[in-house]
Amino acid sequence: MHRKLSLVLAFLVLIGMQQIQSQSFLKAKGTKIINEKGEDIILRGMGLGGWMLQEGYMLQINKVGMQHVIKANITDLIGKEECDRFYDLWLQNHVTKADVDSMAKWGFNSIRLPMHYNLYTLPIEEEPVQGENTWFKKGFELTDSLLAWCKANKLYLILDLHAAPGGQGKDANISDYDPAKPALWENDLNKQKTIALWRKLAERYSNEPAIGGYDLINEPNWTFEGKHKNGVEDQLNKPIWDLYAEITKAIREVDKTHMIIIEGNGWGNNYNGFPGVWDNNMVFSFHKYWNPNDQEALGGITALRDKYKVPVWLGESGENSDKWFTDCISLVEKNGIGWAWWPLKKIGSVICPLMVEVPQGYSTIVDYWNKDTERPSKEVASKALFEVVDNLKAQKCRYNKDIIDAMFRQVKDSTTKAFKPNTIPGILYAVDYDMGRSGIAYYDAESERTGEPGKDGGNKGRVYRNEGVDIEACNDSSKLTNGFNITSIKDAEWVKYTIQIKKKGIYKVFARVASDKSTGIVAFEIDNTKLKETFTIPASGGEHKWTTILLGNVKLEKGKHTVKLIVNKGDFKLNYLEFAL
C-alpha cells in the first residue's frame, strides 16, 4: 500500500514538473514565430519602460529628460546619498512580482525588458583598464528576478538593449545619450562593450526557454550619411548591420538557440541597405506610433518579411487612445504579427495600464526643472520624490482598466461592458460610460492620433480614462461630484451607459452642467430605442459656473438596461445626471 502511494506521489510530482517546464524555446520558422511543438505563437507583450532606464516624459519632465541629467538634477536637490537611495528604491519598487502577476492575469504572454547597460557594466570612460569590462551584479540580479516571475506565470521575457554603451541615437532620452561623450557609433570601445554585454547575457541565459529572444539595440536613430539626424533617410545603414552581425556572432558562440531580433535605423523602421539574413533564427522588429491603422501602414515591414522569409514583430507601440490600441492590435494580429506595448506605468498618466499617483509637492519639482520656477527646498523635494518611489508599487498604482479592455476584449468582442455599476434611482456620472469600441460605447469626433488632418484627438484632458471622450478634473463644488466631468462636447457626440434600474417608474432627470453662452440640446435612447422628446440645456453663465437643471421625465422599466445620451447640440460641460422618482 505504501509503495503504491509512493508511486502515485512520484507520478504527481513528475506531472507537476512537466507542467512547470512546459514553456518551450521560441524560434523563427519561415515568416512565423513558433514554439518547440511547432505551434504558432503570437507574442502579446508589455514593455517595462521607465524601470531600468528613465525617460523624462514618464516623470512629467518635458525639458531635458535623459536619465543622467535627471539623476544630476535630483542630486542637486537632495544630495548624492539621498539620490542613490532614491534610485535603489526606484529599481526595487517599479517592477515587482505583483506587476508581473497582474500582466499575466490581464492576458499578456510576454514582457520586453528595456535594459540600461550601466546596470550591467561600467561606461568606457570609467573602466580602470581601457578595453576591459567591469561587470556589476545589480543588472543581472534584477533580470534574474524578473525572469523568475515570468517563469512562474509562463510568460516569455525578451531582453532589449534600450540604452547601449554611448547611446545609439540623437533622440537622447531614449538611450540616455550624452552628446558630450562619444556615441556608440563613434567609438569602437563602445561597440566592443555592447558585443561583450550581449555575449555575457547569452551565456547566462542560453538554457532558459522562458527567454523569448534578444532585441539587440532599441531604435537606432543616427545618420551615417549626413542626412536627417535620426537616420530616417539613410540608404545604406551599414554600421548598424555590421554591428548586429558581430553581436550575433558573439551570441552564437555561447547560445545557438534564442531568437535574434533586430531593428532598423530611424527609430527601428529604416531597413534600407539590409544585406540579407545572416542567421537562421532572426526576427525583424518595427515600431509603430501615431499613424493610421490600415494595411498600407504595414506595407514596408510585411514586404520585408515576405522577401526574406523572416518573422516580424511589433516591438513597441502605444502612447495613443484606446480606439487606436484596439485598431492597431487587430491590424497586426490579422497579419500574424505579435506586439509589445509601451509602457506599463507612468507618473500621472491614464495612457498606460498603471498610473503612478502624483504626490503633493511633486509639481514644484517638475515646474522648477521644466519652467525655471522657484527652487523647492530640500525637505519638500525629498518628501515628494520618496513618495513617488513608494507610489511606484503595483498596489498603490491606479489601474486603468479601460486600456486592458481595449487591448484584449475589444479586439474580439464588439459588445459594451459597464465601466462601473450604475444604479437608478441615483447619480449617473457622465465619465462612467461603458467600455467598448468607438461607435458602440461612445462616439467622439476626435478619438485618436494618427498624424492625419483632424485626427490629433483622444481624451484632451488626459485624466480618468483613455478613450476619445474629453474629460477634465472638475471644479464643481457640488458634494455629489466624483471629481471629473466631460468637456469639449461637440454636436453628434454621444455616450452609452449600462444601468440597473431598481424600480419601475417615471423618473425626473436632472443634469449638472456648465455652459458659457450656448444652449445645448440632448436626447436619450433607451435599449436602442430613441425617445422622441429632446431636452434643452440652457447656458449657465460661465464655463465653470455649475448649475443643476431639470431636463424632463423619462419612463424606465425595472432591470438591466442601456441609456444612450446623444448630443444634438453641444458646447457645454456635463458632470452627472441624476434620476429621481
Alpha carbons 522 and 527: distance in angstroms, whole number: 17
Asked if residue 307 is part of any domain, the answer here is yes
Asked if residue 3 is part of any domain, the answer here is no
Question: Tens digit of pLDDT for each residue in 487-544?
Answer: 999 999 999 999 999 999 999 999 999 999 888 999 999 999 999 999 999 999 998 9
Asked if residue 19 is part of any domain, the answer here is no
> Which CA distances in Å does 264 have to 30, 34, 150, 356, 549?
20, 23, 28, 32, 58
Alpha carbons 283 and 278: distance in angstroms, whole number: 11
Chosen domain end from 402, 426, 461: 402
Q: What is the CATH number of the domain that holds 538?
A: 2.60.120.260
Alpha carbons 522 and 501: distance in angstroms, whole number: 21
**Would you state the pLDDT for residue 22?**
62
Alpha carbons 103 and 50: distance in angstroms, whole number: 16
Sign for the CA dihedral angle at 38, 44, 50, 55 comes to: positive
Cβ 512 vs Cβ 574: under 8 Å: yes
Are both 113 and 182 inside the same structural domain?
yes
Asked if residue 63 is part of any domain, the answer here is yes
Neighbours of 319 (CB within 10 A): 20
Chain Cα centroid distance, residue 182:
31
Are both 397 and 249 inside the same structural domain?
yes
**Would you state the pLDDT for residue 362?**
98
Question: Tens digit of pLDDT for each residue in 123-146?
Answer: 999 999 999 999 999 999 999 999
Alpha carbons 520 and 512: distance in angstroms, whole number: 13
Q: What total number of domains does the chain contain?
A: 2
Are both 465 and 370 inside the same structural domain?
no
Are both 392 and 437 inside the same structural domain?
no
Average pLDDT across the chain, whole number? 95
Neighbours of 383 (CB within 10 A): 17
Instruction: Tell me whether the omega of the peptide bond preceding residue 239 falls within 30 degrees of 0, making it cis.
Output: no
Cell numbers standing for residue 489: 462636447
**Would you state the pLDDT for residue 7?**
42
- 294 is in which domain, residue-wise? 43-402
Cβ 415 vs Cβ 407: under 8 Å: no
Q: Compute, in degrees rounded to 10, the torsion defined by CA atoms 296, 302, 307, 310.
A: 170
Q: Tell me if residue 577 falls in helix, strand or coil.
A: strand
Asked if residue 570 is part of any domain, the answer here is yes
If phi > 0 it is left, if psi is from -120 to 50 it is alpha, else beta; for residue 75 that is: alpha
Q: Please, what is the Cα angle at 119 between 113 and 123, to 5 degrees? A: 125
- Which residue, among 316, 367, 317, has the nearest Cα to 60 in the 3D structure? 367
In order along its 581 residues, the chain shows pLDDT tens digits of 444 444 443 443 333 333 344 689 999 999 999 999 999 999 999 999 999 999 999 999 998 899 999 999 999 999 999 999 999 999 999 999 999 999 999 999 999 999 999 999 999 999 999 999 999 999 999 999 999 999 999 999 999 999 999 999 999 999 999 999 999 999 999 999 999 999 999 999 999 999 999 999 999 999 999 999 999 999 999 999 999 999 999 999 999 999 999 999 999 999 999 999 999 999 999 999 999 999 999 999 999 999 999 999 999 999 999 999 999 999 999 999 999 999 999 999 999 999 999 999 999 999 999 999 999 999 999 999 999 999 999 999 999 999 999 999 999 999 999 999 999 999 999 999 999 999 999 999 999 999 888 788 899 999 999 999 999 999 999 999 999 999 999 999 999 999 999 999 999 999 999 999 888 999 999 999 999 999 999 999 998 999 999 999 999 999 999 999 999 999 999 999 999 99
Are both 391 and 425 inside the same structural domain?
no
